[in-house]
Every structure is written in C-alpha cells, then in structure tokens.
Amino acid sequence: MEYRDNARIDHSRVRYGGGSGGGGRRRGGLAIGGGAGGIVLLLLAVFLGPSLGIDPMALLGGTDYEPEPQVVQQKSGCVTGADVAENRDCRWDAYYVALDDYWSSVVDGYESPEMEIFSGQVSTACGMGATEMGPFYCPGDKTIYVDSTFLGQLLDQLGAKGGDAAELYVVGHEWGHHISNLTGDMERARSRNDGSGPTSGQVRLELQADCYAGVFFDNTVRDPESPIEKVTADDLKRIADAASAVGDDHIQKQQGGRVVPESWTHGSSAMRQYWVDKGFSSGDPRSCDTLNTDELGG
C-alpha cells in the first residue's frame, strides 16, 4: 500500500497516549467488533461465549458506564502522507483522514468518530477496554480503540500476512461499525435479539462492517486527495487474508475444538471474505444491506 506524499493528514482526530486507565461509572453500550486470537479469555467470550457459558457483557464492562478522564494527546508532526515514512505512527492519522473523508461524503448526517491509540487498559463508555481485546468500536462514545502493538501480534497469531493494508482493513471494519451506528442498523440488528449463529443480527452487523471496509478501499484509491494512493494486488490478498483470519470457524479451529456455527458472532472466513469483496467490487454502501438478505456468502 502506498501513501500520497502531498495529502494532508494533520486534521485527523487520532488521540495518542491513552491507556492503563482506572475505573469509571457505567453508562451504556457494548463494545463492538473486538479482536480475535486464541490466546485470551476475552477472545473466547466474544467469539465463543455462547458455547462456553461466558458472558461477553461482563468482560467488556457491561452497561451504563461513564469513563474517567484520561491523559491523551494529539500526535504532532504528522502533516502529510510523506511523514509516514519518517514516523510510522503517522499512518494512523493517514488511516483516519482517508476513512473520514470518504464516509463524510456519502452518509447523511455524518458525525466523525474519535480514534484512540492506547496501551494496556483504557476506560470507555462501554466499560474497561484492554489490549487483549484487539481493536474495537464503542457506540457509547463513538470511538474506535486500537492497541497498535497488539494488533500486529494478533494478525500474526491468526496466520494473517499483516502489513498496512491488513491493518487498515481492521480499522476500516471498526469504522464500518460507526457507520452502522449512525444509520441505525446497529440498533436494528440488536433489536432482532436472536443471539448468535450464522444468520443472527450480530453476525449480519459484523458482515456489514466488512462490506463497508471493502467499499472504502475501492473509493479511497479513486480520490486524488486521499492519503492512500495505491492498493496493490498483494495488498488485496492481505486484506482478504485478514478477513479470513478473523472468521469464527478459523478461530474455533485454532482453539483446537470443533466448528460450532450456532456460536458464531462474527461469521465464517468465507462469509467475511465474501462481504469484503462485495463491498470492494461494488464500491457502493447500498450493497452492504446484510440485515435484509438471505445470501450471506457462506
């Protein structure tokens, strides 16, 4: 993936330096799209919880949570896409600007999310976030939370090739949850109250976020002002690889157990790849209506 050297990235809303936070008062909103990997209890709760008797709500902080203030700062020195080569942290600002610029142009009533790069623990409106959760979106404070170091380790442990394209896919997926939140699809998916499984509202919501990530990639490379100048064929493979790696069936196999579709909360590898490709091929957010289709790709 190549960055556009002259693209401005100094208007991003990425916050750095948060984390290792304490407690807070509960306010509301379950974290969405938490990370995957066969190494932590929280992963088991998010992906396999229903079959293991683990309550993800409890581990993610439950509801009615108001976070305590944290020390965060804007990153200085990230001005254009060229700065990514000198300071790798600037890639987060490039990701933010590319995603924000696209979605602000197509969503009525758009609100920019916040994005926080943290380490250790972080207080959110959805409860206490932790490194081991991987990236997640909290609808309660409309913020995407990412532990940058752990994200790379997570993709590696899941067998994905990694790289900036895979990383941007993950961030684009979490941004997709923000779009679903703004459009009301998140609430509609939850109102189905149909638990887990391949056709559940929760899986449909995750697949929609994958589709939105694909839509973004198609459109950002067409934008002459986007910080993302080029996505190569290898990048596309990395994106598809990352989508496959976070499929519920892949994760269950890595756990050494059997595949249990009834417990799925994110969809199979095939389903996730299908919707990323559908979004990328169409370039149209309207193609991502996963809530009202019987064809989920798997």
Q: Please name which of 108, 101, 106, 81 lies closest in space to residue 220, comparing C-alpha atoms.
A: 101
Q: 102-111: long-range contacts at Cβ-Cβ below 8 A with a sequence spacing of 24 or more? A: 102/216, 102/219, 102/220, 102/223, 102/226, 103/175, 103/179, 103/216, 106/285, 107/179, 107/182, 107/183, 107/285, 109/182, 110/182, 111/142, 111/182
Q: What is the DSSP letter of 32?
A: B
User: Are the C-beta atoms of residues 25 and 65 closer than 8 Å to each other?
Assistant: yes
CA distance 97 to 171: 12
Classified as helix, coil or strand, 118 is: strand
Quote the strand ranges of the chain, DSSP E. Answer: 2-3, 14-19, 24-26, 65-67, 73-74, 114-119, 121-124, 127-130, 136-138, 143-146, 228-230
Give the per-residue pLDDT at 69: 43
CA distance 259 to 273: 18
Give the per-residue pLDDT at 197: 85
Give the per-residue pLDDT at 73: 52
Question: Could you tell me the two tokens for 151?
Answer: 């994200």
Nearest 5°: phi and psi at 8?
Answer: -75, 130
Q: Please name which of 221, 9, 241 lies closest in space to residue 102, comparing C-alpha atoms.
A: 221
Give the per-residue pLDDT at 30: 57
Question: Could you tell me the two tokens for 62?
Answer: 């439950």
- Positions in the chain short of pLDDT 50: 20-28, 35-72
Give the per-residue pLDDT at 198: 85
Give the per-residue pLDDT at 147: 84
